[in-house]
Structure 1
């Protein structure tokens, strides 16, 4: 007869598993940004057109964002471990194919495969984390670690991209994923038993899956393209996305056993947290993009120096998520989220005052303040959206919060790029130099971002309940 492992051993095992799952999530988030600095090198080596080059990023983002809700719901129905292992396998094989790609078609197709694998692995991993830590205070701490490291990875991608491209070659931006994926597959299979049988009361409706995947992909593509052209094609994609989304909701309302129950969307804290997530990511993730351009196009930093310039920002992101992970279980989500939005808004206002003649030290106050807010925000939003969710829908909640993050980033880049380009064109016509016009375009985007974050702070202050994120009884299942 076997005896149960000691409590200390079980706790150690849980945190080892948490660390492993966080490492995989960091790998997935790194692939959002690690390729950015390497794009010019890839273009030269594979003789790619500029249009094909954009699809190295878009193929990953569109498939990742489009399949997240399906991946999350699949984890709820068939078990987080099963879906995680499948997702990581697809991601690892696709990463190998991407690193070995010999032409643009192979590279773009394998990037799409990475996106699909990540869309199943990411929500499944987060649902495992939520299941491992059932006690509310421990769960908040675990989700805080998860969200903080995930947010940090997105910024570290810029740092690592320059280093890897310069010293190892662009292919290793993707090949480095392969040993991580193999290690994750071996250890998760050994460390994490999954005794829960697949659910039979809910099915994966193929039409619903197609509708929601098509809706999110069309919206993402329309929002991404809106930053470059606001023509009929962009409007058609966004309209198509909204029509498909409406059709999905209509089918869910009429189904006896919907793939995603409409009651999922009625939870107040979850709804406000995800709405705030769209606003928060539209501002913060766009700032990362515009500030990277500023460093390279205005201050003329090399790719490697640009990556190193983000290290202080990363340090404040770590400080922010450590602060949030420690405070949320004690004071709840609402005050930390308001502080996150306020810190981000102040950082944007500081950046909006930076002229074209500024030096790198002039950027640091705004970068560091926004970085601290980013750390606070990703942690508290994740806890609000997932932390008090019943085990039956943790995968769905995990997929949904990542989906709103993706949509927010696409929305911010689409709208704010249009703002920056229009203002730059106006300033050039008024006689400003190219550098001054570019800087003033960036300044305006930071001002708009500060307004967005202020709106998000007001939404959170009014909409999130005071007890959200603090210890309270386990919620009832949705479906």
Structure 2
């Protein structure tokens, strides 16, 4: 073993990222795959439709089935990982993930691909909570945690930005199945790095309480139904019965989950821990982040293409300021937080997000330069919040709940993002007379769409502001 690589069998804490580079590489690769999986495959949907004779509904479920199970099962698998061992769960999940992706070679019908994508979503949910939980096992120093978290998330952001382009290039020379088969060697690399770079789970740090299976089932049902409701609202609108049925199911499951968790002696989510100032503040910041991302992602993509007539490729380039900013400022977040302190850095980052949303809502319809400014402001703030909130939440929980905490952190952002999309989609649908695809057909419809986007963005900005103010107050209490 190289002299500058820490032997994690002798000590579990490092004083630099270089000392545990195999672990950082492995965790970065895992996060990269999570960010790439849907974005890479989306570019292949037309090819898949032709090859498998898939309908529009089939294509919808090829992507939605993965997302629902990935988002819905993270908390349940996080709780299992805290009991079974986070590293062990990560290795099992990666192994199954590799096998599932390899099975795409045998897919011949849309139904088989939908089932396979669902299975991949389950295996991805097994690995996701462990990414940050294992990262926090490596360091004691706050600055190193932020540096490691920033590096891992930067790798994922690069993958997200490059994913559609890479997928398109692969499709020029290889069949669409290659996009999933490519995940196999990536997963194998992650397994090797994690086995070498992260120590085996210490039984004394595992959660010894029994797993609340009923609570896990109710929590999973709540999240899946909530995500599905948001999807149905955007696609079908509230005029259809499906969103209402799914929404009622989500509420009933949520009520059942809360009642169960309050009554059982061994809850999956201990509400007393969530009430800790630093934990609740971090989760509120993450929820604000999810809403902000939804407002910008939905609004800018549709505006550039439907109103201004940009091609999909041009629209993708139009969103580059967001990705470039997030990547560029990543290395400086640690110094920013160190200089100002977490109680100031969080509100400042959130204020940048809110400023970006306001610029987009009020000026985005007039010229692209305002959209670019909005994306830069919001993404800079998002980057600070993304790293700071993750560290805050994880540091506020006991070591035997880190996987559950990481899952709760990621799930909160995903659910908030879905809610933001549903809010925006509902307001836009209510403002339009014809279908969304006809927005660019007349000045009146384009104006109605832009006004609806402005209204939706302002509504979400108001909710974000309320969450940020509450989070800042909670964080201040945690500093006291």
TM-score by length of 1: 0.86
Aligned with 1:240 (options 227, 239, 249): 249
SS at match of 1:459: helix
Structure-to-structure mapping, 1:205-224, within 5 angstroms: 205-224=212-231
Specify the alignment match of 1:134 in structure 2.
140
Deviation, 1:318, is 1.6
- 2:180 is aligned to 174
User: Retained in 2: the 8 A contact 1:122–1:399?
Assistant: yes
CA distance in 1, matches of 2:198, 2:192: 10
Give the Å deviation of 1:206. 2.3
Task: State the match for 1:409 in structure 2.
Answer: 417
* Counterpart residue number, 2:68: 62
Following the alignment from structure 2 to structure 1, what is the Cα–Cα distance between the partners of residues 360 and 471?
A: 24
Contact 1:349 1:450 in 2 (8 A): yes
In structure 2, what is the Cα distance between the partners aligned to 1:209 and 1:7? 32
Structure 1 residues 63 and 28: alpha-carbon distance in aligned structure 2, compared to 1, 3 A threshold: same
What's 2:302 paired with?
293
1:77 maps onto 2:86 in alignment? no
2:468 pairs with 1:457: yes
Deviates further, 113-122 or 290-299: 290-299
Do the aligned partners of 1:147 and 1:382 also contact (CA within 8 Å) in 2? no
CA contact (8 A) 1:296 1:302 kept: yes
- TM (norm. structure 2) is 0.86
Q: Verify the 8 A CA contact 1:159 1:308 in the aligned structure 2.
A: no
* Displacement after TM superposition at 1:412 (Å): 0.9
Per-residue deviation at 1:132? 0.9
* Structure 1 range deviating more: 446-455 or 148-157: 148-157
1:12 corresponds to: 18
Could you tell me which of 43, 50, 72 is aligned with 2:49?
43
Equivalent residues of 2:427, 2:452 under 8 A apart: yes
Partner SS, residue 34 of structure 1:
helix
Alignment of 1:69-468 (within 5 A): 69-98=75-104, 101-150=107-156, 153-165=159-171, 168=174, 170-197=176-203, 199=206, 201-228=208-235, 229-230=237-238, 231-353=240-362, 358=367, 360-361=368-369, 363-425=371-433, 432-465=443-476
Select between 239-248 and 4-13 the one with higher mean Cα deviation: 4-13
Q: How far apart are the structure 1 equivalents of 2:177 and 2:305?
A: 23
Partners in 2 of 1:171 and 1:295 — Cα distance? 31
Shift of 1:240: 1.8
Are residues 356 and 195 of structure 1, via their aligned partners in 2, closer, same or farther at CA, if it must alter by over 3 Å? Answer: closer
2: distance between equivalents of 1:17 and 1:465?
Answer: 34
Residues in 2 aligned to 1:349 and 1:167: alpha-carbon distance in whole angstroms: 43
2:13, 2:140 within 8 Å by CA — same for their partners in 1? no
Distance (Å, rounded) in 1 between the aligned partners of 2:17 and 2:371: 42
Q: Deviations over 1:89-112 (max 9, x none)?
A: 222222333476332112211111
Task: Provide the rounded CA distance (Å) in 1 between the counterparts of 2:381 and 2:180.
Answer: 30
> What's the CA shift for 1:458?
1.7
> Quick one: structure 1 residues 436 and 252, their matched pair in 2 at CA, closer, same or farther if it must change by over 3 Å?
closer
CA-to-partner distance for each residue in 1:380-408, whole Å, 9 max, x for gaps?
Answer: 22122213332111111001001101101
Deviation at 1:73, TM superposition (A): 1.3
Secondary structure at the counterpart of residue 42 of structure 2: coil
Instruction: Give the Å deviation of 1:449.
Output: 3.4
Measure, in 2, the Cα distance between the counterparts of 1:41 and 1:335: 49
Q: CA RMSD in A?
A: 3.2
8 Å CA contact 2:12–2:199 kept in 1: the answer is: no
- CA 1:41/1:346 → structure 2, altered by over 3 Å: closer, same or farther? farther
Deviates more, 1:385-394 or 1:196-205: 196-205
Partner in structure 2 of residue 475 of structure 1: none
Asked if the contact 1:88/1:121 (under 8 Å) is kept, the reply is yes
* Contact persistence 1:341–1:456 (CA under 8 A): no
Distance 1:274 1:7 in 2: 26
| 1:413 positional shift | 0.9
Structure 1 residue 167, shift from structure 2 partner: 6.0
Contact 2:212-2:266 at 8 Å conserved across structures: no
Bigger shift: residues 10-19 or 217-226? 10-19
Between the aligned partners of 2:107 and 2:327, the Cα distance in structure 1 is 35
What CA deviation, in whole Å up to 9, does each residue of 1:141-182 have, x standing for no partner? 323333454455445445545554556554344333222111
Residue pair 1:276, 1:460 contacting (<8 A) in 2 also: yes
Q: Which has the higher mean CA deviation after the structures are superposed, 299-308 or 361-370?
A: 299-308
Whether the aligned pair in 2 keeps the contact of 1:73 and 1:259 (CA below 8 Å) is yes
Residues 337 and 345 in structure 2, CA contact (< 8 A), matched pair in contact too: yes
Kindly tell me the number of residue pairs found equivalent between the two proteins: 467
Question: Is the 1:224–1:411 contact (alpha carbons within 8 Å) kept by the matching residues of 2?
Answer: no
* Structure 1 pair 329–379 and aligned structure 2 pair: CA distance change class (3 A): same
* Farther off after superposition, 336-345 or 325-334: 325-334
Cα distance in 2 for residues equivalent to 1:118 and 1:22: 14
> Deviations along 1:56-105, whole A, 9 cap, x unmatched?
22111110111111111122112111000111122222233347633211
